[in-house]
Structure 1
Amino acid sequence: MSDDNPHSSRGSAGKTWLERIASIFSAEPQDISDLEDIISEAASRELIDSDTKSMLQGVLDVSKMRARDIMVPRSQMATIDIEQPVSAFLPILLENNHSRYPVVNEDKDHVEGILLVKDLLQFALDPNQTDWHIKDFLRPAVIIPESKRVDALLKEFRQKRYHMAIVVDEYGGVSGLVTIEDILEQIVGEIEDEHDDEEDNDIKKMASRVFQVSALTPLDEFNESFNTQFDEEDADTIGGIVLHAFGHMPERGESIQLGDLTFKVSKANSRRLLQLQVIRAKESALTEDVGS
């Protein structure tokens, strides 16, 4: 009789589903790999969509991460020296477009505090106010070890309402920093804001020989546009080719020449290249209209 019931298989599957969830959460200790299997099965049954699956997987991944795994490394930290006048550090603010910056004394191992850009607005609006020093606006810097669990750090960010932490190694030297956005990006993916460059087009022509190129541009598309012959067996994207050529994760502003093209990193985070500036050594009729 049950075989003739069109709802019987669905009911059985639903029961199995609930039983599996119950068994996992009642087991001691709980096995994350079992949870990952449940999430994958839910996606395959279309109980959740791919975005939800990615976020759930991101939550599980965060539970296994330490601060060292997601921090912006020391070499890529944008900092302000406590003795710098406004004229010296203003270009840093404009170039990076962050909302807060570590303020250091002489070097990055001596962090004096955190500067919130919004605290300077009153002086930007009133140029007659000159009797002030950057140290008057410093907020306390939160210091955490590299081994700090990321999920615990996110909880502290929320409870204590701060958004940045300085990461130190076992000897007390600064090794990087972590923001609440860095953690959220592990869960929901890259977060773009109004300051991020538009990336709707993979290739944009900026000047006669200068192009803005997404690092995720498929290599075959890049080869066709620039009349290059990078081996598609070496990488799927132009970013992969550039990263391989550097031999390390480059910082913003680093450049390398490949053939008659110079690649300059214009946007990157601690994990991947995002945007490249490509400069041709000379004009080529074959690529005159690239990115137009």
Structure 2
Amino acid sequence: MGDTADGSSNAAQGALQDDTRHHRPGFFSRIFGTRNPRDLEQVTLSDAAPHASGTAPVSAPGMVNLRRMRVEDVMIPKSEIVSAPVDILKDELVEQFRESGLSRLPVFDGTLDSPIGLVHLKDLALNHGFNGKPGNKSTRFVLRKLIRPLLFVPPSMPIGVLLQKMQTERIHMALVIDEYGGVDGLVTIEDLIEQVIGEIEDEHDLEEGALWVEEKPGCYLLEAKTPLDEFEAATGVRLQHDQADDDEIETLGGLVFVLCGQVPARGEVIAHPGGAEIEVVDADPRRIKRLRVRIPSKSDG
């Protein structure tokens, strides 16, 4: 069944072997077959400074990344994976989806190093109701019945190979397995495509052209690229603090990077010296994407 540590290890060993089996050509394989590889090299590296923008220097989006980048370059590290145990209760799983904002979660038996598949939010909703409303009352919640397969891949696999594998097998999530069969990270098809076409915005992102929105008094949802001086001027919120490198901090993401000394994990909350709290709403291993700033009211003391 593959629901034990040995099972996941065997799956990992299979993934670590040569993965060049013949599949029906898909979109990306057709591109590889018709494009001159030298044509893909016309890509420059980003020279953005981490302290100024909240991003580490990374390759600009482009087809060349499919050959040049490895799975380990784009994966979400194990410590940041949002997952669910196979014996989780329905209400707890619903809350897990709600808090994370994700549509797919890996499922494990015992520990994350014993993965057994993934659960899709759509399957949960269709079988057990939408928006917390009961579904088929005769259907008892058993997570194992909702589990879909996921892929197991080595960290050294080129992302182009994984993207083609996801396309042919129609599986959009992969766990990265280390040499001992343990889970090292997670990759989705969106993570791979973003390396080619740039960041993909969804319905949960801010409206086009908007850099921030006030969700409620004293609470702002912002893009990490929001210019710090513009946000301060428009809201009257002071986030600059007395440091020698203040002039080099241009964005909210850059400010958070300076406060942390690194790119923080999604969900991390950073305490600002002035009393504000800055929550990392969305980030990947290389850059901060969205933030939530909470300003304490005067009544909070």
User: What per-residue deviation string (whole Å, max 9, x for no partner) do you get for residues 34-77 of structure 1?
Assistant: 7535x79xxxxxxxxxxxxxx99611022101110011221221
The question of whether the paired residues in 2 share the 8 Å contact of 1:123 and 1:129 is answered with: no
The question of whether the paired residues in 2 share the 8 Å contact of 1:166 and 1:177 is answered with: yes
Query: Is 1:186 aligned with 2:195?
Result: yes
Query: Is 1:221 aligned with 2:244?
Result: no
Which protein shows a greater Rg? 1
Following the alignment from structure 1 to structure 2, what is the Cα–Cα distance between the partners of residues 57 and 182?
12
Query: Is 1:168 aligned with 2:177?
Result: yes
- Give secondary structure in 2 for the equivalent of 1:58: coil
Following the alignment from structure 2 to structure 1, what is the Cα–Cα distance between the partners of residues 286 and 140?
42
Following the alignment from structure 1 to structure 2, what is the Cα–Cα distance between the partners of residues 148 and 266?
29
User: What per-residue deviation string (whole Å, max 9, x for no partner) do you get for residues 170-221 of structure 1?
Assistant: 2221111111111111111111222334464223222332222221111222
Counterpart for residue 272 of structure 2: 258
Counterpart of 2:41 (choices 12, 36, 48) is 36
Higher relative contact order (CA 8 A, sep 6+): 2
Following the alignment from structure 1 to structure 2, what is the Cα–Cα distance between the partners of residues 236 and 138?
45
For structure 1, the 5+ residue unaligned runs are 1-23, 41-54, 285-292
Counterpart for residue 122 of structure 1: 127
TM-score (norm 1): 0.73
Counterpart for residue 278 of structure 1: 293
Following the alignment from structure 1 to structure 2, what is the Cα–Cα distance between the partners of residues 183 and 158?
11
Deviation at 1:233, TM superposition (A): 2.9
Following the alignment from structure 2 to structure 1, what is the Cα–Cα distance between the partners of residues 219 and 87?
37
- 1:10-159 matched pairs, under 5 angstroms: 32=38, 36-37=41-42, 58-120=62-124, 121-124=126-129, 126-159=135-168
- Judged with a 3 Å threshold, the aligned counterparts in structure 2 of structure 1 residues 81 and 228 are, in CA distance, closer, same or farther, namely closer
Deviation at 1:100, TM superposition (A): 1.9
- Give secondary structure in 2 for the equivalent of 1:233: helix
TM-score (norm 2): 0.71
User: What per-residue deviation string (whole Å, max 9, x for no partner) do you get for residues 208-248 of structure 1?
Assistant: 32222221111222343423435543332111111121123
Following the alignment from structure 1 to structure 2, what is the Cα–Cα distance between the partners of residues 122 and 105?
22
- Give secondary structure in 2 for the equivalent of 1:88: helix
- Give secondary structure in 2 for the equivalent of 1:59: coil
Counterpart for residue 215 of structure 2: 206
RMSD over aligned CA atoms reads 2.7
For structure 2, the 5+ residue unaligned runs are 1-34, 45-58
Which of the two has greater helix per residue?
1
- Judged with a 3 Å threshold, the aligned counterparts in structure 2 of structure 1 residues 208 and 161 are, in CA distance, closer, same or farther, namely closer
2:279 maps to a residue whose letter is K
- Give secondary structure in 2 for the equivalent of 1:165: strand
- Judged with a 3 Å threshold, the aligned counterparts in structure 2 of structure 1 residues 164 and 229 are, in CA distance, closer, same or farther, namely closer
1:268 maps to a residue whose letter is A
Counterpart for residue 241 of structure 1: 255
- Judged with a 3 Å threshold, the aligned counterparts in structure 2 of structure 1 residues 212 and 140 are, in CA distance, closer, same or farther, namely closer
Following the alignment from structure 2 to structure 1, what is the Cα–Cα distance between the partners of residues 215 and 152?
41
- Give secondary structure in 2 for the equivalent of 1:206: strand
Deviates more, 1:226-235 or 1:248-257: 226-235
- Judged with a 3 Å threshold, the aligned counterparts in structure 2 of structure 1 residues 280 and 195 are, in CA distance, closer, same or farther, namely closer
Give the % identical residues.
35
Deviation at 1:253, TM superposition (A): 2.5
User: What per-residue deviation string (whole Å, max 9, x for no partner) do you get for residues 265-290 of structure 1?
Assistant: 12223322122121223449xxxxxx
